[in-house]
Amino acid sequence: MSLSDFNKATAISDGQEAKKAGYKVPFGTVSITDKARALIDTALTTKWVTKGAYVAEFESKFAALFGVKYGIAVSSGTDADAIACAVLYDFGAKRGDEVIIPALTFVATGNAVLQAGLKPVFVDVSRETLNIDPDKIEAVITPRTRAIMPVHLMGKPAEMDKIMAIAKKHRLHVIEDAAEAHGAEYKGQKIGSIGDMACFSLYAAHIVTTIEGGMIITNNEQMAEAARSLRNHGIDGKFRFKRIGFSAKMNEIEAAVGLGNLEIFHDILEKRRRNVRYLIKQFARFEKYFWYLNEDGHEVLGPHAFSMILKPGLNFTKDEFVSYLEKEGVDSRNLFYSIPTQTPSYEFMGYKLGDFPETEYCSDNGTHIGCHQDIEIAQCDYAVDVVANFLKSKGY
């Protein structure tokens, strides 16, 4: 079987699996283009499949897309975060120094800080935005704080003006975790171009994907050089090592998929924006019951998914709501747990339930559904009808 035939067979199989699962509105998708298939065929034919020309081309084009000078491709979004944190050692950080992150994010953000030998310091979020509350950042800054790592959750930009002002005041670096925010904009600036560095996940469900993979972007040449070294065991030249690094290179097969995605990036992005804006408009009639993902006038979303947070005083639970969505074929995911207080692996840090009330509320009462490029408006209408029918069944 040729690679092309294999890809077609896999696509058919994936579609059959989706039908078996019964999802009329699936949560995620992946776009693998004909260009990607051709590049993969070439890589397999020439047998050059480790980091090479495709990776370099992908780095250059990705950086240009976000208006920055340097791109450093790595093996996952988690590795991107960890390497960006480890870059701080070139700028005076010491083992055990602190990086401020939101309590509500995928656990990879906290894990990456620890993997870099630093300490995550958590800050509560706003339930209306799901992003770090900048008004609570200064209270946790200490002499050992080295960076703030805001997360643009669901593709909604964090309040970067306030965050950058705090960082400047305290001489801190800013690392944007833009894992889910490809194409988002804040006050006319592209997310990923505002902080000192930015980290993207290129996981299968994201707007730009390499199936697995990550990208660090920056305008700082020294940071870019350090990140390139750190992704390959801290190498400097040929088998000379000057840093404690990682094994986190991207390969040519992944880069080929990424190059194909970059060609259709704007098409993917506009379809996702169309879907999420349609859902926002339709959900206006449910505003008594949910806080939901919104697009404020100063921003443009880079939508990963459509989030919903139950408001207080309802006669149903999130679990009841999610169970109904699933039964009716609307695939969903719970919001992330509060890392410091609802994630058992972080019990060693000594936080307790109640320390991050907004994050814990979102975790207990939040879910999100897909808005990706393979969802049509009719499917959005179906999801809205399912929500309406559920609320009607509860007497609303």
Give residue-wise pLDDT tens across range 128-185.
999 999 999 999 999 999 999 999 999 999 999 999 999 999 999 999 999 999 999 9
pLDDT at position 21, please? 58
For residue 94, what are its two tokens? 């010491």
pLDDT at position 362, please? 97
221-226, Cβ contacts within 8 angstroms, sequence gap of 24 or more = 221/69, 221/70, 222/90, 223/70, 223/87, 223/90, 223/196, 223/197, 224/69, 224/70, 224/72, 226/86, 226/87, 226/90
Reference 197, options 142, 251, 148; nearest CA is 148
Its pTM stands at 0.92
The residues pairing with 333 across neighbouring beta strands, listed in sequence order, are 368
Domains, in order of start, for the chain: 34-263 (3.40.640.10), 265-393 (3.90.1150.10)
* Residue 302 DSSP one-character state: -
d(CA 62, CA 204): 17
Write the CB contacts of 280 (distance below 8 Å, at least 6 apart in sequence). 292, 293, 294, 295
Reference 389, options 327, 301, 302, 307; nearest CA is 327
pLDDT at position 368, please? 97
Outline where the chain has alpha helix (H).
3-21, 34-46, 53-65, 77-87, 108-115, 160-170, 221-230, 252-263, 265-282, 318-327, 339-342, 357-365, 377-393
How does pLDDT run across 213-251, given as a tens digit for each residue?
Answer: 999 999 999 999 999 999 999 999 888 999 999 999 999
Identify the residue whose tokens are 């809205």: 384
Residue ranges of the chain with per-residue pLDDT less than 50 = 1-20
pLDDT at position 33, please? 84
Q: C-alpha 147: how far from its chain's center? A: 19
pLDDT at position 19, please? 46
Amino acid at position 166, single letter: I
User: b/e map of 112-133 (b: 16 or more CB within 10 Å)?
Assistant: bbbbbbbbbbbbbbbbebbbbb
The residues pairing with 332 across neighbouring beta strands, listed in sequence order, are 369
SS3 (DSSP) at 381: helix
d(CA 194, CA 291): 27
